[in-house]
Amino acid sequence: MQLAVASTDLERARIALDAHWLSGLDDDQVQAVQEMQQNASSGQPTCPACGSPFSPQVGRCPDCGLNLV
């Protein structure tokens, strides 16, 4: 999917898309996303599936193989 928005509307579009995406998740999935975001902001993200630390540049958990992109 591609979406074209004016540069002045970029942040509002991102917020709207994030809200729409989160509305399709169940409570456990939302909690996992929030935990992953908190861990990412602390400098060392962890996999929401197995809890192993990973490098955001890799895109996959090195332990369980979960796609993190």
The residue segments making up the domain with residue 40 are 8-69
2 belongs to a structural domain: no
pLDDT at position 60 is: 82
Above 80 in pLDDT, residue 15? yes
Quote the CA–CA distance of 44 and 65 in Å, as a whole number. Answer: 17
Q: Are the C-beta atoms of residues 35 and 21 closer than 8 Å to each other?
A: no
Q: Residue 68: exposed, middle, or buried by beta-carbon count in 10 A (0-12, 13-18, 19+)?
A: middle
**How many domains are contained in the chain?**
1
pLDDT in tens, 16-60: 998 898 899 899 888 888 877 776 666 677 787 888 887 777 778
pLDDT at position 41 is: 66
1 belongs to a structural domain: no
pLDDT at position 39 is: 67
